[in-house]
Structure 1
Amino acid sequence: MAFRPRRALLAALVTASVALPVSGAARPSAVPAPAPPHLAPLTSAAPAVLDAQYAANREGIRAAEFTAARHGDRRRAAALRAMADPARRFLLFDGRDGGRTAEVVGDLSRAERIAVLVPGSDTSLDTYGRFRAGAVALRQELGDRAAVIAWLGYRTPRTLSPEALTDGRAADAAPRLGDFVRRLTGIKPGARLSLLCHSYGSVVCAGAAPGLRVADIVLYGSPGTGVGHIGGMRTRATVWAARSTGDRIAGVPHLRLRLPFATVGFGTDPVSERFGARVFDAGAGGHSDYLKPGSTSLENLARIVSGTTPTGGGRHA
């Protein structure tokens, strides 16, 4: 009978600990949008090829903006209007079901270091500005010859929902992330590629990890990954982990309970010795502050992407 309180505690603490200040901002993904144009897979990172891809997705964004405005959702229309700016660069865009995007910050054709950001819960077109701001901050920290890709390639769970307690959304997202990264490495085979995975996004990255040719997989603000040790990720990449001292996700119970209808929780704490990742200093920020300009965590994430050792970076036994 002691198992029931344990289950209840897991559900309550995961929900409360991951809650972000903007957790109520993400609305139901009911705003209509047209199907995006069919685009052939990229076969080159030549500037002309990328520019054509960006232009095609820009037209798709404008079509989605028109549809959102006609639907009466001014907030979504305004967000899409900003995304359609000619200076913005999207490798993919689909405005349906909350939105799917992959935005490039920097010059991908010239990039020698590439970071792919994978977001956690409550990330959609309605909250996209916060996600993109982190990508911009990281690109500024990295400097020239680097690109950051903000990959919103899945329907993220709402923090205050049962989906945030299970790996169902991550299981759907992992193959999409894997396909995206494989295509990216195909057109940029000489670039150093890192996956930066925040919160629930770390569950997505763990599922996508097997076989990916990436240098680093970084798990930060993570509730767990669904595997008990980095060996379960089946990757040759260096796996890093960090949690800031002000992150409420520290209170999540690191359990994985198999219930009749689902498996709840994500198991071993990625910053624990048992998990086996390299742990680095993430400073004192909160759950949403890892990519905040001037932060210790941002500086160390940039160091990892650049192939240098972050402060506090060491391997567990």
Structure 2
Amino acid sequence: MALDEPRSRGGSPAKHPTPDDPAHTRPEPPRHARRWRRALLAVLITAAVVVPLSAATRPRIPAPAPATLAPPTRTTLTAAYDANRANAAQASRMAAAHGDTHRAAVDRALAAPSRRLLSFDGRGSGRVTEVVGDLARADRIAVLVPGSDTSLDTYGRFRADATALDQELTLEEAGARTGSRAAVVAWLGYETPGTVSSTVITPGRAGQAAPHLRRLIRDLRAVTGRGAHITLVCHSYGSVVCGRAAAGLDVNDIALLGSPGTGADSVSALHTSARVWAARGADDWVANVPHVSADVFGTTVGLGADPVSPSFGARVFTAGRGGHSAYFLPGSPSLTNLAHIVLGDTKGVRRG
């Protein structure tokens, strides 16, 4: 999504319109707007060629259909975990027989007795919802929503973020001595866009994902009750998903990390009663993304206003000097602040 600025406009010298020229009566768009419009169009054209070719080279990995389960409750969590682990074990065997040793290893790790899978689907790019912590006893829950290029094949790095947040929450809980109990839910519940693709600069995938995220929140409420404090932690393109799902969603806080936009112009346009937070690391390349939204050949291109801008209206908190993948690094200001948000300790959040 980060695009280099063109160095030369090229072509013959510009023609200056005369008063009789119709162009004279229409103000020309600002140079930076024209520049980004050309850049966005270039991304669309490139993606139209690159993405179909790259997708065609990857064979489809066989896997069983997901386990058929009733909506989860506190008493059925263990049975759901068992059924989804068994499904992951079967997917591992099928991937191995297909010759995909990497996917087989990922599925096999998910099938380990210690893993708590609320859902699993090994087909295609894969879907998994995993609990880190004890969801049945938790009263503080963080739901991590990932960005582009996250799939079962890259799931390890996403789970590492969830584990880092869980460990930070444990430290903060011990220090605060409030008696609260936290859990983290790593939700890979949609087909994320590729970083080099047209889908990453449009809200289409987010629109498809939003109903599934809403369903997850309803399921979590059924397990934990109305009194639990739920926070959406939305990274990169995941913030677009959260933006699409936000209206009327039964969550307490929404934290946007390294967000290219939410598809909305302001917090009020999200139509949520949740507190909305935003942070961006000083070295995050997403700062160079054009915060625009335009109709290009009937498709919305661009993801709207910058969530850390004052006009958006979010509660901006300190993220430190990290880059786009550094928000969950142990010891980072962003991770500490996220823990305070998840625990409902708004006074402990360093604003910036």
| Same fold at TM > 0.5 | yes
How does the TM-score come out when normalised to structure 2?
0.82
SS across alignment from 2:136 = coil
How does the TM-score come out when normalised to structure 1?
0.90
Instruction: Tell me, yes or no, if the aligned pair for 1:35 and 1:94 is still in contact at 8 Å.
Output: yes
Aligned-partner Cα distance in 2 for 1:29–1:159: 20
Q: What pairs with 1:236-275 in structure 2 (closer than 5 Å)?
A: 236-275=273-312
For structure 1, list consecutive stretches of 5 or more residues without a partner in the other structure.
Answer: 15-23
SS across alignment from 1:102 = strand
Which amino acid in structure 2 is aligned with residue 121 of structure 1? S
> Structure 1 stretches (4+) deviating beyond 6 angstroms?
none
Asked which structure has the greater RCO (Cα within 8 Å, sep 6+), the reply is 1
Aligned sequence identity (%): 57
Cross-structure match for 1:293: 330
Which amino acid in structure 2 is aligned with residue 261 of structure 1? G
Aligned-partner Cα distance in 2 for 1:137–1:13: 34
SS across alignment from 1:109 = helix
Instruction: Tell me, yes or no, if the aligned pair for 2:43 and 2:198 is still in contact at 8 Å.
Output: no
Aligned-partner Cα distance in 1 for 2:256–2:214: 16
Cross-structure match for 1:33: 63
Cross-structure match for 1:312: 350
Q: For residues 67-119 of structure 1, what are the alpha-carbon distances to aligned partners after superposition, in whole Å with 9 as ceiling and x for unaligned?
A: 11111000110111111110010000011121111100000111110000000
Q: Give the direction of change, closer, same or farther, for the CA distance of 1:28–1:147 in structure 2 (3 Å limit).
A: farther
Q: For residues 261-317 of structure 1, what are the alpha-carbon distances to aligned partners after superposition, in whole Å with 9 as ceiling and x for unaligned?
A: 311111100000111000000111110110111111111100100111344337xxx
Instruction: Tell me, yes or no, if the aligned pair for 1:11 and 1:165 is still in contact at 8 Å.
Output: no
Residue from 25, 36, 61 that aligns with 1:6: 36
Q: Give the direction of change, closer, same or farther, for the CA distance of 1:51–1:291 in structure 2 (3 Å limit).
A: same
Aligned-partner Cα distance in 2 for 1:75–1:255: 38
Instruction: Tell me, yes or no, if the aligned pair for 1:10 and 1:252 is still in contact at 8 Å.
Output: no
Asked if 1:105 corresponds to 2:135, the answer is: no
Q: What pairs with 1:81-96 in structure 2 (closer than 5 Å)?
A: 81-96=108-123
Aligned-partner Cα distance in 2 for 1:261–1:75: 39
Which amino acid in structure 1 is aligned with residue 136 of structure 2? S
Aligned residues: 301
SS across alignment from 1:163 = helix
Q: Give the direction of change, closer, same or farther, for the CA distance of 1:242–1:12 in structure 2 (3 Å limit).
A: farther
Cross-structure match for 1:191: 228
Root-mean-square deviation (Å): 2.0
Cross-structure match for 1:74: 101
Instruction: Tell me, yes or no, if the aligned pair for 1:32 and 1:96 is still in contact at 8 Å.
Output: yes
Cross-structure match for 2:85: 58
